[in-house]
Amino acid sequence: MRVLVARQDNIGDVLLAGPAVRAVAERADEVVFLCGPRGRAAADLLPGVDRVLEWCAPWIDPEPGPVRRDDVDRLVGMLHGFDRALIMTSFHQSPLPLALLLRLAGVPWIGGISEDYPGSLLDLRHRPDADIPEPLRMLALAEDAGFPAPADTRLRVRGPLPDTAHLTGGPGYVIVHPGTSVPARAWPPERCAEAVRLLHAAGHRVVVTGHGDEKELTARVAGESGLDLGGRTSLPELASVLAGARAVVAGNTGPAHLAAAVGTPVVSLFAPTVPAARWAPFGVPMALLGDQQAPCKDTRARVCPVDGHPCLSSVTADEVAAAVDVVAAVPVDDQKEVSAR
């Protein structure tokens, strides 16, 4: 049985699909993962995936290009030959555009989560409970489709990961990751820098991580007290760096979920623009900081709609440092294992 699993948005979203993918892989002969360009690097890290297809969905990507017939025809051609397809979507996305293209490709059975009437586009219309963690929401779709949950439902990445000791000086440090995919989810840079100084003064080695586009930010945050790795790691290397940490300080962004996927505790600076019950780091010791009843609650805002960004600017560096000590002290047993498949 050849099964297509689709999740077409960002790195963190793709990582959260991991338990559902592993459920499918236990019963399928081949699992092919369809992702968008923003999630491709994470799709390559998912255990249970045999092959990755990449296509930018104009109904999901935040900066989509025009819809072109030749591009849609190309995707339909890529989708031929599957026995089943599971469309994993966020609560604000629809599986129906992709379901239509899968039907045109001749896929005989399609499952998805849909509040909208699907007509003949879906064979399984799954309707999950509200406000359950996103990995369990996608896993419930897989279970409803006949793929029982794996014994371990935590996030995982494919191993072995690259050796990054030459970058970090060895394990046992604390990571501060100041960047986020959208500004509304970011802890102010000056607070991040203050936390780095405070953690360093408390005796921690501090590593600052970030994307290549965030080098100016990571340099500012690292200052004289932290090791700046901004722009110096691929996603597998970042996973390795995160795996070597005692704790990670991050906003609601992909690296927070990557930290969870390698079993590292997270201090989550979480803006309530989306529900923490769904999107907080899953399956690891975690401290949730930030005003979850702030005016921006559930707005899905990309830029903070409130002057001063109070939901996160109200969090102090002292609170973050204290939370690091708490989560780093929680036993994680074997959570830092990675999957070989």
Which pLDDT value is given to residue 309? 85
Residues in the chain: 341
Which pLDDT value is given to residue 333? 55
Helices assigned H by DSSP within the chain: 11-16, 18-25, 40-43, 69-78, 96-104, 134-144, 165-168, 189-201, 215-222, 235-243, 254-261, 276-279, 310-313, 317-328
Regions of the chain with pLDDT less than 70 = 332-341
Question: What gap in Å lies between CA 202 and CA 225, rounded to an integer?
Answer: 11
130 Cβ partners below 8 Å, 6+ apart?
A: none
Q: What is the pLDDT of residues 163-194, one digit of tens each?
A: 999 999 999 999 999 999 888 899 999 999 99
Q: Comparing C-alpha atoms, which of 85, 73, 74 is closest to residue 30?
A: 85
CB 236 within 8 A of CB 167: no
Determine how many CB atoms are found less than 10 A away from the CB of residue 183.
12
Q: Omega before 133 cis (within 30°)?
A: no
Question: What gap in Å lies between CA 85 and CA 108, rounded to an integer?
Answer: 9
Does the domain made of 2-144 have the CATH classification 3.40.50.620? no
| DSSP string for 264-311 | --EEEE--TTS-HHHHS--SS-EEEES-TTSTTTT---SS-SSTT-HH
CATH 3.40.50.2000 in the chain: give the residue spans: 2-144, 165-328
Question: What is the maximal distance between C-alpha atoms in the chain?
Answer: 62
Which pLDDT value is given to residue 328? 92
Which pLDDT value is given to residue 216? 96
Question: What gap in Å lies between CA 224 and CA 230, rounded to an integer?
Answer: 14
* Residue written as token pair 């109904």: 59
Which pLDDT value is given to residue 341? 37
pTM assigned to the model: 0.94
Question: What gap in Å lies between CA 158 and CA 271, rounded to an integer?
Answer: 30
CB 167 within 8 A of CB 232: yes
CATH of domain 165-328: 3.40.50.2000
